[in-house]
Structure 1
């Protein structure tokens, strides 16, 4: 009986240590990503939110301001429009610089052949949006993996979208212009 209790205590302590260690690793990674992101993204991470919505044929990435801020909105639009052009050309250097070469989904996205992945940009009232669409299941899977990795890496600066209604999304506490 005492041996069983000792094993239970030891197992609980080990599990607690592993959970604490994983949480510390995640927090450290998010801090590193935020620091690298400041070198790549011209807008304030603290003033914005990234929204990643997985769709049946790809996904929608939005960056919007948390409060009405025309300067941040302009910086978001400029940056996302540039990214959409780069991504459409197969250039994913920006995300690689922020998240690393081993970022899930990135290798498959980079290897997409011309015409396999449609990437479009549009302005939102308080930011911008990049839509990714494909008929190729491997690219849908890669986009979903890539979105999941971004959600994890950006932590509280990101959130998962919940469907087509996010196309006109505005951040909590704000109203569209």
Structure 2
């Protein structure tokens, strides 16, 4: 390899690294819809996009994300345990999501959180090695994600953390 080829290779690697860092920074900082409000604007944008994807009311429900050694558990519950309307909407949505995720379709989370959401690409690529189970609970529904691949467990944990960050007051770490 001559000097010119090495310089070109070094420039390409440097550009790729800067691009990756910039992409990560943009996801973390989120879109600057409100003149640079950063994370607050991102949470507002996520909530707005979430309303077009999730049929239940984010103000009347809570997402719980519990990482496990083999993946994780996602509970979505009505804040009022007797809110039959929200419970029915949660169940319908999570049933659909379980089916979509089992087929490698992570379009809804991508639409809400963006294509560069942490963990999303790895989950979409490795979907056949992640079991997704749906279960009803009295106040909503649960999706349980299980895999024996450490890289996919890490992807699930990253994906959960991103959702916790983006959903703000509408999400919490499970117990």
Tell me the equivalent position of 1:9: none
Given the alignment, which residue of 124, 129, 144 partners 2:142? Answer: 129
Given the alignment, which residue of 109, 117, 124 partners 1:103? Answer: 117
User: Which residues in structure 2 correspond to 1:50-129 (within 5 Å)?
Assistant: 50-67=63-80, 68-112=82-126, 114=128, 116-129=129-142
Tell me the equivalent position of 1:38: 51
Deviation string for 1:52-105 (max 9, x for gaps)?
000000000010000120011000000001000000000000000000000000
Query: Is the 2:101–2:127 contact (alpha carbons within 8 Å) kept by the matching residues of 1?
Result: no
Moved over 2 A (4+): none
Given the alignment, which residue of 123, 128, 141 partners 2:154? Answer: 141
1:113 CA drift (Å) = 5.2
Size of the aligned set, in residue pairs, is 139
1:24 CA drift (Å) = 3.4
Query: Is the 2:103–2:127 contact (alpha carbons within 8 Å) kept by the matching residues of 1?
Result: no
Cα pair distance change 1:72/1:129, threshold 3 Å: same
1:26 CA drift (Å) = 1.0
In 2, the alpha carbon distance for the partners of 1:54 and 1:84 equals: 17
Query: Is the 2:94–2:143 contact (alpha carbons within 8 Å) kept by the matching residues of 1?
Result: yes
TM-score norm. by structure 2 comes to: 0.78
In 2, the alpha carbon distance for the partners of 1:47 and 1:69 equals: 9
Query: Is the 2:134–2:144 contact (alpha carbons within 8 Å) kept by the matching residues of 1?
Result: yes
In 1, the alpha carbon distance for the partners of 2:174 and 2:50 equals: 21
In the alignment, structure 2 segments of 5+ residues that lack a partner are: 1-35
Identify which of structures 1 and 2 has the higher relative contact order when contacts are C-alpha pairs closer than 8 Å and 6+ apart. Answer: 1
